[in-house]
Amino acid sequence: MDIKFYLAVFWRRFPYFIILVSLGTAAGLVVALTMQPIYVAEARLVVEQQQIPDDLAASTVRTDASEQLQIIRQRILTRDNLLEMANRLGIYRDVAPEDRLTPDERVQDLRQRINIITTGGSLVRGQATAIIVRVNFDAPSAQMAAAVTNEVVTLILQENVEMRTTVSGQTLEFFSQETEQLEQELSQISAEMLAFQEANLDALPDSLDFRRAQQAAEQERLLELERDRSQLRDRRDRLVDLFEQTGEVGLVGAVARTAEEAELQDLQDELTRSSAVLSAGNPRISILRAQIAALEQIVSEQQAAASSAGVGEEGAPLTPFELQLADLDGQIAFIDEQKTLIQTNLDRLSASIAATPGNALTLATLERNFDNLRAQYDRAVQNRAAAEVGDTIEALSKGQRIAVLEQAIAPTNPSRPNRRRIAAMGVAGGLAMGFGLIILLELLNSAVRRPADVINGLQITPIMTMPYIRTKGQIWRRRLLILAVLLAVLVGLPAALWYINENIRPLQPIFDEVLRRAGLG
């Protein structure tokens, strides 16, 4: 490689190189000096866990902290909230009329400039790290950056409190409504059970054993009456036979007391025994009293009839035969009446016993529904109590909350642009363009410039070679041209850009757009 030749080529092309380097340097300096300074203010927040232990009192808001922060971020960055905040804080108040943004462009711009960054919350060596939220905003002025950042922090705190209190309030309202509804259903089914029991008082399953015992007693009593009636009928037939054969009755019909009186005494004794073990409202006591009242009326009628004994239909005294025959007929008639009453009672008991299984099934269904509703009601009452505690915790801000670690303050120095870096990038760009142009010109140049080119091109070896020699005038004209171009680049280009920026149109939006498209914004 002929290094001396390439150095000579570079020196010959050096004016182009220095022009491009100057152009890149001037462009970098102009961009660095004309770009508007951007200030970034940042605030830090922390997510604090519930202050009261969960085993003592738990909050009803179960939203994860990371999920809650994402929801809050989306609510803050809605179109209405951003436009309202921009108008209230005057974020675009100082923008020139020709650079005013449309509402959609303002929303997009604010969403790009507001940054809400969440870190932490993951497990590190089995322990959860704290969730830190960093909020920052960039603006042309330090005061505006701090004001907007603190406003976003305020919105985050408000949204957090509102969201948690809303959730706890809705939970409490839900369980309160459920408790009221279940209470109404319990009252309704209780009324249905009471009405059914009152309508089927004599056919309920809890008195089935008593009614069966009563049925057996009535059947036994009916058999006793049948036996007594059969005995009385035999006595009457023997009395009639004896009277027809002898014309006398003797002592066959003599009795110390009537059958009604004996039965009345037996019923009174049974009432005395039953009253010792049964309550006064028991159906058995009521039936015994009704039977005793009926027998007392019959006995009183018999005693009244006995007082007028001996008087016939025409006032003639009755014979002993007729007296005894009338007494036996009266006892048989009384037994027939008792049989009719007992049979009626047996029919009623049979009907109630037959209806008991159906009533038991209906009552069991009502009781099962009542028990299920009662269990649901008890759970709803417990849940409502827990919801009331959770709502109180959120109302007093004792649950999970977001606290401010550090408020945003107005920064003293702009965060961007990095003017030194932009100027260095301009110089680097100029160097790259200069070297690139020299390499490109060299690759495109096919002229003969050294003896080796003659030997390689013509395949001959010359005796000597002589380079092209310029006159002094040509050299000075070339130097003046290069100097003029350098002055135009170093002085004219910055001056033109300054004039455009001050009098025609600000170049900051153009630079921002170029940097954004280049991925450097």
Order of strands, sheet of 401-406, starting from the edge strand that comes earlier in the sequence = 114-119, 132-139, 39-48, 401-406
Residue 243 lies in a domain: yes
Contact status, residue 101 vs residue 78, Cβ threshold 8 Å = no
pLDDT the model gives residue 378:
92
Give the whole-angstrom CA distance, residue 145 versus residue 410: 7
Q: Which of 135-139, 264-268, 496-500 bottoms out in mean pLDDT, i.e. has the lowest?
A: 496-500
For range 450-455, the mean pLDDT: 65
The percentage of the chain sitting over the pLDDT mark of 70, rounded to a whole number, equals 79
| pLDDT grade for 251, boundaries at 50, 70 and 90 | very low
| pLDDT grade for 271, boundaries at 50, 70 and 90 | confident
Total Cβ atoms within 10 A of residue 66: 14
Residue 143 and residue 40 in one domain: yes
Residue 382 lies in a domain: no
Residue 162 and residue 285 in one domain: no
Residue 358 and residue 414 in one domain: no
Given 317, 346, 369, which residue is the final one in a domain?
A: 369
Residue 303 and residue 438 in one domain: no
CA dihedral 32, 102, 88, 42 (to 10 degrees): -40
361-373 pLDDT, tens digit per residue, is 998 998 899 999 9
In 3D space, the residue among 146, 144, 142, 116 whose CA is nearest the CA of residue 131 turns out to be 116
Query: Tokens 């770009």 appear where?
Result: 35
Question: Which own/partner pairs from 67-76 qualify as long-range (CB within 8 Å, at least 24 positions apart)?
Answer: 68/160, 68/163, 69/116, 69/118, 69/131, 69/133, 71/163, 72/156, 72/159, 72/160, 72/163, 73/116, 75/159, 76/114, 76/116, 76/152, 76/155, 76/156, 76/159
Residue 217 and residue 310 in one domain: yes
Domains contained in the chain, number: 2
Residue 237 and residue 141 in one domain: no
For 440, the token pair is 């490109």
Given 369, 391, 421, which residue is the final one in a domain?
A: 369
What range does the domain containing 50 cover?
Answer: 3-169+400-517
The percentage of the chain sitting over the pLDDT mark of 90, rounded to a whole number, equals 13
Total Cβ atoms within 10 A of residue 256: 6
Residue 296 and residue 415 in one domain: no
312-321 pLDDT, tens digit per residue, is 455 455 677 7
Total Cβ atoms within 10 A of residue 168: 23
Residue 162 and residue 78 in one domain: yes
Residue 7 lies in a domain: yes
Residue 89 and residue 235 in one domain: no
Total Cβ atoms within 10 A of residue 108: 13
In 3D space, the residue among 178, 189, 88 whose CA is nearest the CA of residue 381 turns out to be 178
For range 297-301, the mean pLDDT: 78
E strand or H helix at 483: helix 472-487
Residue 196 lies in a domain: no
CA distances (Å), origin 211, targets 356, 358, 427:
11, 16, 115
pLDDT the model gives residue 128:
62
Give the whole-angstrom CA distance, residue 411 versus residue 446: 59
Residue 28 and residue 158 in one domain: yes
For range 228-238, the mean pLDDT: 87
Residue 159 lies in a domain: yes
Residue 179 lies in a domain: no
Residue 377 lies in a domain: no
Residue 404 and residue 365 in one domain: no
In 3D space, the residue among 87, 31, 2, 103 whose CA is nearest the CA of residue 493 turns out to be 31
pLDDT the model gives residue 273:
78
Contact status, residue 121 vs residue 65, Cβ threshold 8 Å = yes
In 3D space, the residue among 61, 48, 51 whose CA is nearest the CA of residue 386 turns out to be 61
The reply to whether omega before 97 is within 30° of 0 (cis) is no
Residue 45 and residue 104 in one domain: yes
Helix (H, G, I), strand (E, B) or coil at 94: coil
Secondary structure, 3-state, 361-390: HHHHHHHHHHHHHHHHHHHHHHHHHHHHHH
Q: Residue 359: which CATH number?
A: 1.10.287
Residue 175 lies in a domain: no
